[in-house]
Structure 1
Amino acid sequence: MNKKIQLQDLGNKDYKSTWEYQEELFKDIVDLKIKNRREELDLPTPNYLLFVEHPHVYTLGKSGDLENLLLNEKQLEAKGATFYKINRGGDITYHGPGQIVGYPILDLENFFTDIHKYLRFLEEAIILTLKEYGLECGRSEGETGVWLGVGTPFARKICALGVRASRWVTMHGFALNVNVDLGYFDNIIPCGIRGKAVTSLQVELGVEKVDEEEVKAKILKHLTRLFEAEFIQE
């Protein structure tokens, strides 16, 4: 089992081109697994983690409801935002500047074959990261992602999750609101959940700006321990 994960920080990159790049890496891993099975080989499959920040974009998962997007085409254009229907789970979400997006493209057969455990580990890495900033976060029953104030009238989501998996290979991932403009969430019903707010690390800490590189380093530290992995910087 190959527990090395190649880390690529793509900086600020267009959503569509990043999605296409994910698909390319995903397909290469799946193709190698098929080749191994057909030819009775044992070639190691690679793993990747992409960090990226997107320009303003709304994405709708395959089971999502288009009515959760509250903007028409002209209004999207006025906001400088784009919109895509994509092949991950979950409903609608927003990505934009000041948000840390992580796309793990892993062959889970290198780690464990349990999608539920995989999602919980991604959440746990974020929960542990935010704990280092003095924030008590948790999970909301029946809803993926990471929340503050669970069980209170002030429940608010700080990190969204949505993944796709095939042949135990994953893509898509998590989006953590760090210094993001939360006003963009007013244009959607986030994740199709009414009556619950969205927040950011910057708002919760009451600071002008959070060091995003520091946050990424903390996320990596916790992913390393949870997945018993080794990250290799590209």
Structure 2
Amino acid sequence: MDLYIRHLGRQDYPKTLAAMHVLTQTRTPETPDEIWCLEHPPVFTQGQAGKPEHILHSGDIPVVQSDRGGQVTYHGPGQLVVYLLLDIKRLHYGVRDLVNLIEHALIDTLAQLGVHAYAQAQAPGVYVDTPQVQAAKIAALGLRIRKGCSLHGLSFNLDMDLSPFQQINPCGYAGMPVTQVKTLCPEADMDWVRMQVITQLVNRLGHTQYQHTCDLPSTLD
């Protein structure tokens, strides 16, 4: 099996972070790649480059230190989180190749909803222009590479409470506007959107054999 696609529902962030580390540290050149699709309870995650001043007011939302790239972001119910646990050396991908792949998977998903989205070289992620604001962020990226393998991935705002983003400088940018699929396409089927993101990612990765499962990885049992 080239790839396992795991649909994991709602998972605690610290537990998921630890599970990613275990899989990455113990995998061998023969270990199949995995994509984990899930959402988290409300949590602010602070990336490796994160600065405390970008958390304006955490309130009752926990702040968790992460080893992904980037600054602070928010995860919560109604947001699709996809972790890509890939042997990028085996796939012959560089980090920038993987970032481009993720961004274009999301851009093409939004295009199928009639939404023009784009990436910005200086700030990884996916952005849209709305009648109200320019360059509103709809998806964030943060990766880590260890032993030639990737962990962490993307968060895509689907149908969620966006107000916690006002408690931080998203990705380290003061006043950065954020938006979500529900605002842009109120009639969109969010289950379809989730599956389309996965389809776009798998097609671009080039895996010829893959299996969808709801089973937890052993590291999350």
**CA RMSD in angstroms, aligned pairs only:** 1.7
- Shift in Å, 1:212: 2.8
Segments of structure 1 that go 5 or more residues without pairing to the other structure are 34-43
Partner of residue 85, structure 2:
105
Distance 1:27 1:215 in 2: 32
Partner of residue 46, structure 1:
32
Q: Percent identity?
A: 29
Partner of residue 164, structure 2:
184
Select the structure that is richer in helix.
1
What secondary structure, in the 3-state scheme, does the structure 2 residue paired with 1:48 have? strand
- Shift in Å, 1:109: 2.2
Kindly report structure 1 stretches of 4+ aligned residues shifted beyond 3 Å: none
Q: What TM-score comes out, normalization by structure 1 length?
A: 0.85
1:220 and 2:206 matched: no
159, 164, 169: which one pairs with 2:149? 169
Whose radius of gyration is greater, 1 or 2?
1
Deviates more, 1:211-220 or 1:128-137: 211-220
Contact 1:177 1:200 (C-alpha < 8 Å) held by counterparts: yes
Distance 2:98 2:73 in 1: 20
What secondary structure, in the 3-state scheme, does the structure 1 residue paired with 2:171 have? helix
Partner of residue 16, structure 1:
14
- Shift in Å, 1:180: 1.3
1:56 and 2:42 matched: yes
1:141-164 per-residue CA deviation (whole Å, 9 max, x = no partner) reads 3000000129x9621000000000
Partner of residue 100, structure 2:
120
- Shift in Å, 1:219: 1.1
1:233 and 2:212 matched: yes
Partner of residue 88, structure 1:
68
Contact 2:24 2:146 (C-alpha < 8 Å) held by counterparts: no
23, 46, 53: which one pairs with 1:67? 53
Q: What TM-score comes out, normalization by structure 2 length?
A: 0.90
The residue type equivalent to 2:204 in the other structure is L
Distance 1:71 1:153 in 2: 24
